[in-house]
Amino acid sequence: MPLLNAFDLLTAASDSAPSAVTVLFGDDPMLRSWTLRKLLGLDAAEEDRPDSIDLDGELAEWKDVRDELQTGSLFSMGQPRSIVVRDADKFVSKYRAELEAYVAKPSSAGLLLLELKSFPGNTRLYKAINKTHLLVQCAIPTGSGRSTKPDLNKLKSFLCGFVAARHQCKLQKGAAETLVELSGTSLGLLDTDIAKLAVCVERGAPVTDDMVRKFVGGWRSKTTWEIIDAATEGNSGEALRQLDHLIASGEKAFALLPQISWSLRRLGLAAAAIDYAEKSGRRISLSDALQQAGFRPFDMKKAEAHLRKIGRPRAQRMLGWLLDADLKLKGTHSTDDRARWVLEELFLKMAS
């Protein structure tokens, strides 16, 4: 079977069923959870099914999993039951040879579902499952060609369709754009935000851009602006205190950087517009530069104050700082604790 993306499986009109061997892999736990529930045929109110068994991949032994797969169910009316191995990365690594043999000749009494964070495509096991069974990639689809960046247009469409329908509301396109700008690309966080918005409207009523800014942005946006205010004024201590407040409330540094970068990048672009105009022998007003950088009229006054506080030398270096922070989060500082250091370093640079 060809590799499926979870977005396609979840938005398909028809029901989906697992194969004799099914692998769900990807770094988004919410997407893996939704995909697994659909494959098991669980509705919103069901936690599990009597003919399915959950096993912990950190503890599971192959002999026990094999026994479960070969044991019929008293509740399934002759249908195979589902054996789900969660967090199965360690399990797959440990029992790769046994799994390769099983994939070639699976049991008819049970369906094996493996949930993993990663599943390299150059392994024999991957190729064998992809050929005759079911592989579902639980990650935001990427752009065309060899791009590794998430396709934000597909993400927004998925939010307006599948996720909004989960909460019985209608998410407008502009609202989805603002939601991604404020909250990043974590589907768990985006789902929570849409759940909050659904409570604020009548069932089936539209959720607008203004509502996202008011109800989702709320204290999160306020605190993000307070961080930027403190850093641009040279008060790194206050910026770090507000960062600690956000992280203690459950926010992840990975989700915070896109929110903070959204504003800071436009300040850097405004400074670049001024530099370019001057090198071209032209003069450009600060408000025109901010407008070119993408600031909206209601943001203009605050953005102008921020740019003046930052000062031209630091504003000119802003795009480089943000690029450096983004590369570190995707490389050497990809863990939660190291990701926090990246933000702290950025605030200290802004305050210096």
| pLDDT above 70 for 216 | yes
pLDDT of residue 77: 63
Contact 135, 126 (CB under 8 A): yes
Mean pLDDT of 53-57: 92
Any idea which of 25-29, 44-48, 157-161, 332-336 has the lowest mean pLDDT? 44-48
Mean pLDDT of 120-140: 94
| pLDDT above 80 for 74 | no
pTM for the full model?
A: 0.64
- Minimal CA–CA distance to 72: which of 112, 111, 109? 109
| pLDDT above 70 for 136 | yes
> 3-class DSSP state for residue 10?
helix
Q: To the nearest whole percent, how much of the chain has pLDDT over 70? A: 92
pLDDT of residue 220: 60
Distance CA 307, CA 287 (A): 11
**What average pLDDT does the chain have?**
85
293 confidence band (pLDDT: 50, 70, 90): confident
| pLDDT above 80 for 129 | yes
C-alpha separations of 259 from 52, 266, 290, 307, 319 in Å? 40, 12, 18, 17, 15
Any idea which of 30-44, 87-101, 241-255, 309-323 has the lowest mean pLDDT? 241-255
| pLDDT above 60 for 45 | no
| pLDDT above 70 for 236 | yes
Q: To the nearest whole percent, how much of the chain has pLDDT over 90? A: 37
Identity of the residue numbered 336: D
- 220 or 2: which carries more pLDDT confidence? 2
Cα 119 to chain centroid distance, Å, stands at 18
Mean pLDDT of 302-326: 84
> Around Cβ 270, how many Cβ atoms within 10 Å?
27
Please give the domain boundaries of the chain with CATH numbers for all domains: 4-137 (3.40.50.300), 152-207 (1.10.8.60), 218-351 (1.20.272.10)
- 291 or 165: which carries more pLDDT confidence? 165
- 223 or 39: which carries more pLDDT confidence? 39
Contact 110, 69 (CB under 8 A): yes
pLDDT of residue 59: 93
Q: Which residues lie across from 273 on neighbouring strands?
A: none
| pLDDT above 60 for 142 | yes
Exposure letters 49-73 (e unless 16+ CB within 10 A, then b)? eebbbebebeebeeeebbebbeeeb
Mean pLDDT of 264-286: 86
